[in-house]
Structure 1
Amino acid sequence: MGMESVFKLSVVLNMMDNMSDKLGGAQKNVGQSLQAMNTGFGGFQKAGAVLTGIGGGILGASAKLVTATFDTQDALGELKSLGVEDLKAVEDAARSFTNTWAGTSKAEFITASYDIKSGIASLSDEGVAKYTELAGLTAKATKSTTGEMTSLFATGYGIYKGFYSDMSDMEFGEMFSAGISTAVKNYKTSGSEMAASISTLGASATNAGVRMEEQLAILGQLQSTMSGSEAGTKYKAFLNAAAGAGKKLGLTFTDSNNQLLSMPEILTALKGKYGDTIDAVEKQKLKEAFGTDEAIALIDLLYGDIDGLSSGIDGLQESMQGGAEATQTMAEAINNTPAQ
């Protein structure tokens, strides 16, 4: 191989080393390869083959870098269209997040920021960045995607934030993150299933005055035998009929402010009337009162473990009071687990 060819290759490699740390060792490896190949009759042919391979690798890496850059710029442009001015805050957050947590690209993070801003227009530019970080962290902790958790955070904000109006956006976001992560851990479900259950339930429970930790505990416990969307459907059917059903059964399921009692209190009232088990005749009376099979299915599944439900609610409340600490711990455990 002529010195001119080696010089040209060296120049190209220097350029690529400056472009990316990932290519930083390329020049060193080629130098070692050339030294080994130039000892023997077949050195020229081998050198040409290696140069072809190295060149293809460089072009492939370059193409990925360029594509990633274009994707990032496109995502920033979309975010700017929503009125976000401090794009640097979002890009810096994206860089920090992707350098810490595996599995999400900068472009994906910024696209998630777009979804957050679309769903929660009141957030400041810095708030958009921080909410996206929380959604991404929750995704990592619950083995779901950043996109799924971004959508859930936007939905959850609309459903629950008014109930917790005394909290700042960030305080609420951290509490919500802890609730989702803890429910996933305690009830052996997933982030995507919890998202489906909350989306299906909507604001029915919140409008009835049910606190978030109770909602998450009920949805989580139901998912031991059904999907998230089924859990949301059954809980919604129960809520829609509960107040009227209590009157038909000669029981009171509301407090002095006409707000629904907690689920453990309602189940305890039913147990006081029917005992530890509900026979077929009694179940038929319950169905006449509640009107749907879905509501009765919920009672069947929760009736036998009222204490467990109460403990689950208390555990969620405690975790949610700690902010995003529970989510952080779960995410770190997953991130630090060696790949199989």
Structure 2
Amino acid sequence: MTHTHLDDATAEQFAHVALENIARQYPYKVDHLMVGADDLSAPVVMHPVFYGSYDWHSSVHMHWLLVRVLSLRPALPVADRIRAALDRQLLPEAIAAELAYFERPASRTFERPYGWGWFLRLQAELRTLGARDAQAARWATACAPLADHLAQRLIDYIDIADFPVRTGTHLNSAFALIMALFYAKSDQHLALRKAIVRQAHRWFGHDQRYPARYEPGGDEFLSGGLVEAVLMRHVLDDCSFGDWWEMFSPGEAELAMWLTPVTVADRTDPKMSHLDGLNLSRAWCWRVLGPGLPPVLQPLAIRAWSDHLEASLPQAVEGHYVATHWLATFALLALTDSAVG
């Protein structure tokens, strides 16, 4: 498996992992607020689309992986299997059941904001592919009601959230907004983009000398600082981002910590294995940030991208299920995602 680009063999491996994951019902980590003694069902009943891949959000981003691979490598031998699987999964009535779950009063914070952001990124990928693929357009139409609902819910949430969540886990605010920006662009959702840009400036626009020495936490799969920088790279023009980075960037010694991959003590531990995700998400961040950084940092960003991929890419397809149910999506981001807009 190369660590420099997405070749056909790597894309095929990723797709096979995702196809297995989205159909694998157990083990499954339930995140469900019960409001009565009998208010609990099997995951496939509560979530007829996203019942696999260990938990709801991982299933969503494994679906995204399949759509992304189909978009980038439509002629792969596995393409027909991908299409058949998405045809089975992304049915209007099944999406309606997922929407009904979110509409429960007890589900007000379910998957906020990580799962919301990933579903909006999935819909953005479907919209993009659907512009040239009638089958994908049908999937996008099926998913539209849930995407509309989550987009509005995200607007409502960030409009009243006075403070961001900076931790490098599922609660991270900046990461969800990055994912949602792709949807705002693909769906021409100006209200969502306006809300995100406004809140990004409010939350992060005046940060100075980010304390990178406090990263990472022992179970983080995102760098709170680097993800924040990626968000600002999306919402600022090149000149403004350069000024912001100069104010935000940590000192040289602390920056070196971001440039160096972390080690993982126990890859069978569901929390410690998050650190492989940290390496892959850092690689993604450096890929996106690189062209906007000062010239002296650009070669360091390229080297950091490569080093972080090399450290953890094999775990995306060869590791324990606590990692392989989700890691390939971050590997695919790191290998292919460089768009800023």
Give the alignment's TM-score, normalised by structure 1. Answer: 0.25
Answer 1 or 2: higher relative contact order, Cα 8 Å, separation at least 6. Answer: 2
Bigger helix fraction: 1
Q: Which has the larger radius of gyration?
A: 1
Give the alignment's TM-score, normalised by structure 2. Answer: 0.25
